[in-house]
Structure 1
């Protein structure tokens, strides 16, 4: 029986650094992601693909605000749904093109994630969305639109929004049913559309959920065998950016937690991936990998002839 891998890739994988985010650019990047997913499928894995949307949802929010004088601007949870459909379509078309004749089918599913209304994230926005601004632009936007804006590295300032933790996946049963049909499922796009329990059922709430945490929640919900967290680095690095930088091929949950406590994996970069991997393993998951899209397949290969320099970083429950 085929195993199931949940693969999480960031919105920055679809709109890469230095790109404007045109449709042509995003389509070309989606094709690269699709090749990696089809490689996993060819190796016998069922695949659920989760994607981020930080650049895209922030850009769409700007379009909404700028056009508010002509048409009503939509709230953030709605623009999240819009980009989920946009990027889901982009990835679905790319997968169908790359996997022509080899796939049972591809389904992009609008996915809602349940969050707690009193999550501390709503009082402390940290999730960067949209483009970079100069310091002057950032100050003007913060004043005019009431945005929370912070400096994001050397590239400038970005808007930040709340990013609560997902506690449930509304469409989990439907995702499982599609996996049973050996469909590739694109789900949890942009981290999912955040909802809370209201007086009349589920209600949207303005936030952008981290796609790594949503991927972990989906992986547990569908009893996935593996969680693959895609980044632009082949392996997780210790002492990243220093003269003592060194790659990790494998680390235990205990080692990962120690490195997190030591500040090795900041929340704005590798932290969510490592935390998501640890949670997946602690909740019964089998294999967690952090690597590039191209190395996802070799990283899940458990054969004895697997070369360490051909794979990413594996997080394991314990050392054997």
Structure 2
């Protein structure tokens, strides 16, 4: 029986450099095409931890050597990561499909995810990103509007909030592409975090948990199954965690 599946790829499972990512997406594409060949409708989401870190570090390094190069807002870094990870995934899936004689369109959707501006996470940003700064550098960045915290005596790092996902802004686009029979890559890195201000969407300094955003997407599109792929099998940071067999289908 055909199922509607949201397949969430961990950022670490995509490799930690460009060469590793190419190898990882090529292998992953084969598994995704296996599901498509069985008649399932697949939507792919992905993390971006290592990748968005590389983007952030690159612009931090440029900003230190070139005064006119700004440090990018986190929302823009997430958007950049969606573009280049989606590019690799999209091409790997296209090639894997064609190799099996399947002409199925694949589309990457740059996806914004709404968060609540009143979310408690914004009161105490705690997720560290990017490189370390000296106390003097941290003061300058703080005056520029960034939030930094001391990190175990190693220096100061930027920290951002990790709020709960409220809504998938491009959900109707995703649904339309799915209805047209396309494989959709969406909610990359948990989505570009935005808050709603009337008709305007404003990017915010935050990182949305990819699995929570994928679960929100699965509920929104009425998926039958959410599959989370990680770099390490059956490992979860909780004493109450339990292994889930490969045959588990779960409930909505």
> Taking structure 2 as the reference length, what is the TM-score of the superposition?
0.82
Q: Distance in 2 between matches of 1:53 and 1:128?
A: 14
Unaligned 5+ runs, structure 2: 142-146
The aligned residue for residue 42 of structure 1 is: 37
Give the superposition deviation at 1:64.
1.6
Give the superposition deviation at 1:313.
7.5
Q: Distance in 2 between matches of 1:41 and 1:59?
A: 32
Q: How does 1:111-130 map to 2 (within 5 A)?
A: 111-127=111-127, 129=129
The aligned residue for residue 144 of structure 2 is: none
Q: Distance in 2 between matches of 1:172 and 1:213?
A: 15
Q: Distance in 2 between matches of 1:36 and 1:160?
A: 35
Unaligned 5+ runs, structure 1: 152-156, 241-259, 266-273, 275-289, 292-310
Q: How does 1:1-320 map to 2 (within 5 A)?
A: 2-16=2-16, 21=17, 23-68=18-63, 69-100=67-98, 101-127=101-127, 129=129, 137=132, 143=138, 145=141, 146-148=147-149, 150=151, 160-235=159-234, 263-265=239-241, 311-312=245-246, 314=248, 316=250
Greater relative contact order (CA < 8 Å, ≥ 6 in sequence): 2
**Quick check: 2:111–2:186 contact (8 Å CA) kept in 1?**
yes
Q: Distance in 2 between matches of 1:233 and 1:86?
A: 24
The RMSD of aligned alpha carbons is 2.9
Q: How many residues align?
A: 238
Give the superposition deviation at 1:44.
1.3
**Quick check: 1:149–1:160 contact (8 Å CA) kept in 2?**
no
Are residues 149 and 167 of structure 1, via their aligned partners in 2, closer, same or farther at CA, if it must alter by over 3 Å? farther
